[in-house]
Structures are given as C-alpha cells and as structure tokens.
Amino acid sequence: MATDILPQSYENLYNWLLNFDAKLQTHGTKLGMTAADVTAFRAKLAPWLTKLKAVLDAQHALDLASGQAQKEAADQMSDLRRRIQNLKTSDGYDDGIGADLGIVATTSNFDAASYQPELTSVEAFPGHVRVKGKKLGADSINVSMRRKGDADFKVIAARKSRFPFDDDSPLATAGTPEVREYQLRGVLNDEEIGQPSPIMSVTYAG
C-alpha cells in the first residue's frame, strides 16, 4: 500500500519542501509548466516554508534554553543547598521563616530506587516514530532505542523534559522496514535512576 509522500514531522517536512521548491525550478518546464506557473506554485509554498521555519527556530531556541537552564541548575544546585542549610543553622531561624522562604522539607513518597517512568505509546509515521511518555516525578527522561536483534539500547534523546519526542533517525538499510524497540529511563540530579520503562516496539518503514 502506498504511503503519503509528505513527511509528518516539521523538520522533515521543511527539508522536503525546500528540496521540492528548488527542484521545481529545474523540472517545471519539462512538466509542461510555464515560468509563470512555477513562480505561482513557489509563491504558494513560500508562506508554508516561512511558518515551518519559525516553528523549527522556536523549537531550537526552546531546546537550547532548556539545556542551558538544566546546566545552570546542575552547577548551582549543590551550592544552593549548602547556603540554605547554613541559613537553617542561623540563631534567628525558625519554622515560620523557613515556611515563608519555602525551605521546610516536606514528606515525599518518591523512591528513586523503585521509580519507573511510563512509556505510553510509540507510533510510526512517514519520516519518524513518535514516542510519548510521562516523567512521573523525575527531572527529565532519557529515550533509548534499539533495532530488533541488536543487543543494546542506545540513548537517542537525553534529558527530555517534554513529550512527544519524534525519532527521525534513518533506517539501518534504506527502503527496508525495521522493528524498533523503545525504552525510557528517569533522570534525577543528572543521574539515571530507578528501573527502565517496559519496552514498546513498532515497525518503521521510513
């Protein structure tokens, strides 16, 4: 059965449209189009390309800002905890001040050793596999994938703080569908914790 030629992920669709737009100028006349036809066709594509580029730029900026914020948190966290502990040893400290500053520890049922993230779905689309999951209390999630028959999982997305994630890695053999298996691991204070999620698999045709 034929599949839709248009990729579904924004990045793949943008690249596809860029190629189509460029090659249309080369092949348009051979396909019976006049120069005006080609210009009009490209004019219809231009707003779409502009909007896709804006989305991709925004996603890139968000990923960059998230990475920088996570690095800053990792750099500052231990020093902040030390300074807060020093405040708690001050003669003037009491629980009222602590509550007002938000530094009174509360009881938590979170157990890093038994923690397990939830992999909710993996779904194949033209150009990518969409992975959905839930952090369930971890700081972030590592997404791993292996092709059926491989021994080990490989991390394909580190410290993801939001879902869905689109895996657009290429087929091992172009044109040959493959079964991909996915798994999530929770990350807390820059370390993987707990147990991996159950494995979910999907057949991906590229």
pLDDT tens for each residue of 115-154: 999 999 999 999 999 999 999 889 899 999 999 999 999 9
Residue 7's pLDDT band (cuts 50, 70, 90): confident
Alpha carbons 138 and 112: distance in angstroms, whole number: 9
Half-sphere exposure at residue 135, Cβ-oriented, CA atoms within 13 angstroms: 16
Over range 163-180, report the average pLDDT: 93
The class of domain 118-204 in CATH terms is mainly beta
> What per-residue confidence (pLDDT) applies to 72?
87
**52-72 pLDDT, tens per residue?**
999 999 988 988 888 888 788
Residue with tokens 């991996």: 196
Q: What is the pLDDT of residue 2?
A: 43
Distance CA 135, CA 159 (A): 11
The three-state secondary structure class of 163 is: coil
Work out the burial of residue 45: count CB atoms within 10 Å of its CB; fewer than 13 is exposed, 13-18 middle, 19 or more buried.
middle
Omega before 7 cis (within 30°)? no
How far is it, in rounded angstroms, from Cα 204 to Cα 206?
6
Report the pLDDT value the prediction gives residue 1, as an integer from 0 to 100.
Answer: 37
Which pLDDT score is estimated for 107? 56
Structure-token pair, residue 186: 């929770």
Residue 184: Cβ-neighbour burial (10 angstroms; 0-12, 13-18, 19+): buried
Determine the residue type at 176: T
Supply the mean pLDDT for the chain.
90
Annotated domain spans of the chain: 1-106, 118-204
CA dist list (Å): 145 to 30, 62, 98:
43, 24, 44
| Structure-token pair, residue 201 | 């698999």
The answer to whether 16 touches 7, Cβ cutoff 8 Å, is yes
Longest distance between any two alpha carbons in the chain, whole Å? 87
pLDDT of residue 104: 81
Mean pLDDT on 146-175 = 92
